[in-house]
Chains A and B, each alone.
Chain A
Amino acid sequence: MTRPSLPLDLLQERRRQRGLPPVPARLRPARQLLLGGAAIGSALVAVVLLLSLGLAWRQQQLAQALAGLRGISAEVEALEARVTKTRRSKAQVQRSSEGLAKGLVAVSSGSALLTQLMALTPDGVQLTEVRAQGDGLVLKGLALDPQAFRRVNSLSLLLAQSPLVEPRSVKVVQLQRDGEAGSGVNWELSARFAALPAPRMLQVLQALQADGLARRLRLLQAAGVLP
């Protein structure tokens, strides 16, 4: 009689000694494990590829959008350049206008000066010389007696009240009696012209009937460029 053949298990005794189960746990097949690992690795690669595809799609979208806006930068730059150029040009024209308007306001009126001198020269005082050079004014004349000195003093005070001259600039340069008493006194006054603001200058010119220059200032005023 033959005994049934049992699978040879040489480590069975040792397992028993160590308190381990008599039959060892079955090992998972290597193929299965490798496939599992490969699946994980492939999933990682797939995620990266998917992200890359998504980015490529987004990149394409952006490229299309950028192509639609290709000329914008150049157009904006051109417009900005034109804006800058126009602004500069406008400022130049305005500066030129302001300079010309100031120049016009500063034009001296000989007729206004003469009218003013005729109006303020008191009785007994003669003007023999008027010299206006730059912003300086020199007046010479003869004051009659009696009270010749007082008459010159009146003239200097009246001149100081004139809007055409700086009040503090009026100076008596000289008073000289040449001949005998009663022959009069030669006098000399100096003053400096006042720099009047344009609206005041317009008033003064109108008051002194210098209507030629006043008309020009009124036109400047109407054009809105009177400084």
Chain B
Amino acid sequence: MTNFQAAAGPRWLNRETVLLAAPALLGALVAAALTGAVLLPRWQQVQRDQQLLEQLEAQRQRLPLLRRQLDTLEQQRAEAEIRNGQIISLIAGSGDLNTFLAQLSQQAASSGVQLDGYEPIAATPPPKGGGKEKTPAPPPDPLLAPGLSKTSVLLTARGSGPQLLDFLRRLERLSLLVVQSDLSLKAGTVTKDKDGRPQLEPTQLRLNLGLYAKDHSDADQPGKAP
């Protein structure tokens, strides 16, 4: 073939193009290979790092907010615990369960009521956290907070209506909360004395008392909510 023969291939494919393009193409191939092997992974890594940095920056900006939130919550919890303690103090009072009989006797004497019976029924154990019982439990006592124990007593007494009313008021005024339930009053019958004069027997009072006291066996967690 000479340069006088009609060109067989495309016009742009000539000696100059080939000589110029061959090394340029080789360079482009090397550049592409470098892009794939080095540039692209590095760019992706930079993108990931950038994203991570933005996340960390956002977290750093949240830190003061979180600290303030924590401070506020801890303060609110402390206030709530103080209120809880106040309520537990209202329930357990400052009186001692061991001296309750003496207090009861004193209040009965002051109101002119005669005590006939005092029968502890059953002590309900304080609720324990982890225990799972299969048998259906009775409805929980709303006043039986953790750290408190309950004693139930069946009390029988007798006196006139006003005396019994005064006695009940005195019981309610005790520092120890005395929860009354199943109140039963039965008026006495009229009997005749030796001289045949009618005499009204005193009214009989029958009452369940629930007494709450701080459980000293659990003294390491005094009245704290779970």
Enumerate chain A interface residues (CB-CB to B < 8 A).
11, 14-15, 18, 24, 27-28, 30, 33-34, 36-38, 40-45, 47-49, 51-52, 55-56, 58-59, 62-63, 65-66, 69, 72-73, 75-76, 79-80, 82-83, 86-87, 89-90, 92-97, 99-104, 106-111, 113-115, 118, 126-134, 209-213, 215-216, 219-220, 223-225
> Which residue of chain B has its CB nearest to the CB of A14?
B4
Within B151-189, the residues touching A (CB, 8 Å) are: 161, 164-165, 168-169, 171-174, 177, 179-187
Contact A126 B27, CB 8 Å, known A55-B39, A114-B168, A212-B171? no
Contact A41 B87, CB 8 Å, known A63-B49, A114-B164? no
- CB of B143 within 8 A of chain A? yes
CB pair A100–B66 under 8 Å, yes or no, is no
Within B116-166, the residues touching A (CB, 8 Å) are: 141-143, 145-146, 161, 164-165
- CB of B219 within 8 A of chain A? no
Which residues of A lie under 8 Å from residue B100 when comparing CB positions? Answer: none
In Å, the complex CA distance between A20 and B29 comes to: 39
CB pair B83–A110 under 8 Å, yes or no, is no
Smallest beta-carbon distance A125→chain B, Å = 12
Partner of A110, one of B31, B34, B69, B207: B207
Interface pairs A-B: 7 shortest CB-CB: A41-B27, A212-B172, A103-B142, A37-B23, A33-B19, A40-B24, A212-B173
Smallest beta-carbon distance B55→chain A, Å = 8
- CB of B109 within 8 A of chain A? no
Partner of B30, one of A41, A55, A93, A213: A41
Within B62-87, the residues touching A (CB, 8 Å) are: 62-63, 66-67, 69-70, 73-74, 76-77, 80-81, 83-84, 86-87
CB pair A48–B180 under 8 Å, yes or no, is no
24 chain-A/chain-B pairs, Cβ below 8 angstroms? A33-B19, A34-B23, A41-B26, A41-B27, A43-B27, A44-B24, A44-B30, A45-B27, A45-B30, A59-B45, A59-B46, A62-B49, A69-B57, A79-B63, A92-B225, A93-B81, A100-B84, A103-B143, A104-B87, A104-B90, A104-B91, A110-B172, A129-B184, A220-B87
